[in-house]
Amino acid sequence: MNIGIVGLGLIGGSLAIDLHHQGHTVIGVSRRVTTCQDAIARGIVDIADTGFAPLSEADIVFLCTPLGVIQETVAQLIPHLPTTTILTDVGSVKQPIVEAIAPVWPNFIGGHPMAGTAESGLDAAQANLFAHRPYVLTPLDSTPPVAIQQLTEIVQSLGAILYLCKPSHHDQAVAWISHLPVMVSASLIQSCISEPDPNVLQLAHQLASSGFRDTSRVGGGNPELGVMMARYNRVELLRALAVYRQHLDQLMLCIEHEDWPALETQLTQTQQARPRFVDEPLSNT
Ligand code: NAP
């Protein structure tokens, strides 16, 4: 199969590595010439260019640019594509992307591989990034079944765990488990660094261990991605943040009133709920 990848960064580069390794012809398009040269030198693409012309024979094209440029990229790309080409993106928000692209390209299916690292760019790309990780596709009732079938096969060939859902449901779910945690974790770091006593702050730096590492990880990631989540999933993220603030207030009230039984009830509920979200063993730290 001829597979196009637009945006050879962490996600696009990782897709290129796996799909090229499987024997597909991979055609890369990226903004900078040096990135295209680098991708060819690494042997993860067959062709790479800064223009879209080489994609005229692509069976499937993955849009892997930052969210903010996906729409304008599609406008420049589609004059080069045969109408049979399946177009998909990897953006972490789906509703606005699907709403913008599906009307102009019926063979478009929104996608979101739920895998990544704190790094970005082609240097961060790695083999098997998507293996055993969720990969969400958000086809519409109008999406041609053959396009869904072909993309499904590619996603499964990456070893990913496929989920199909509505774009709006995707955005609501990721607001809870991905976008809210980024903002909560960022505010945790902000709170810690606002400690006015430099001696206490230095001691906190020295004492921080696995508990702080776990809870601060996503707040210390790529700022551009965080801004894009907030911009494109603004309504759902604000709704989640408002609910979060209510729960934080409830915890504060329990502590202010020294209502330890109520606090214990809440922490017991969260202890019981957590394993349904994550299956790793609980840490004591
Ligand atoms: P990234 O590492 O920064 O890669 C994006 C690449 O796109 C850059 O390397 C850049 O390549 C290229 N690019 C930027 N603007 C472009 C343009 N106008 N035209 C063509 N190429 C352009 O970012 P990423 O983490 O892979 O994220 C890419 C997409 O994946 C985003 O939509 C994001 O929502 C989604 N996503 C990210 C993660 C994650 O954890 N990082 C997880 C799931 C989904 P040059 O070097 O050529 O400038």
Grouping H, G, I as helix, E, B as strand and the rest as coil, residue 135 is strand
Residues with CB under 6 A from ligand 1: 6-12, 30-32, 35, 64-67, 69, 73, 90-92, 113, 116, 120-122, 225, 228
**Which of these, 221, 227, 229, lies nearest to 189 by C-alpha position?**
221
Please give the number of the atom of ligand 1 that sits closest to the Cα of 116.
Answer: 40
If you measure from the C-alpha of residue 127 to the centroid of ligand 1, how many angstroms do you get, rounded to a whole number?
17
**H or E element at residue 88:** strand 86-89
Pocket test for ligand 1, best of 15, 18, 31 (most atoms within 8 A of CB): 31
pLDDT band at 242 (very low <50, low <70, confident <90, very high): very high
Pocket test for ligand 1, best of 6, 72, 73, 90 (most atoms within 8 A of CB): 90
Please give the number of the atom of ligand 1 that sits closest to the Cα of 11.
Answer: 26
pLDDT in tens, 71-125: 999 999 999 999 999 999 999 999 999 999 999 999 999 999 999 887 889 999 9
Give the pLDDT confidence score for residue 281 in this predicted structure: 55
pLDDT in tens, 59-73: 999 999 999 999 999
Please name the residue that has the structure tokens 């961060």. Answer: 124
- Which tokens sit at 8? 């050879």
- Cβ pair 62, 90 in contact under 8 A: yes
Pocket test for ligand 1, best of 14, 30, 133, 177 (most atoms within 8 A of CB): 30
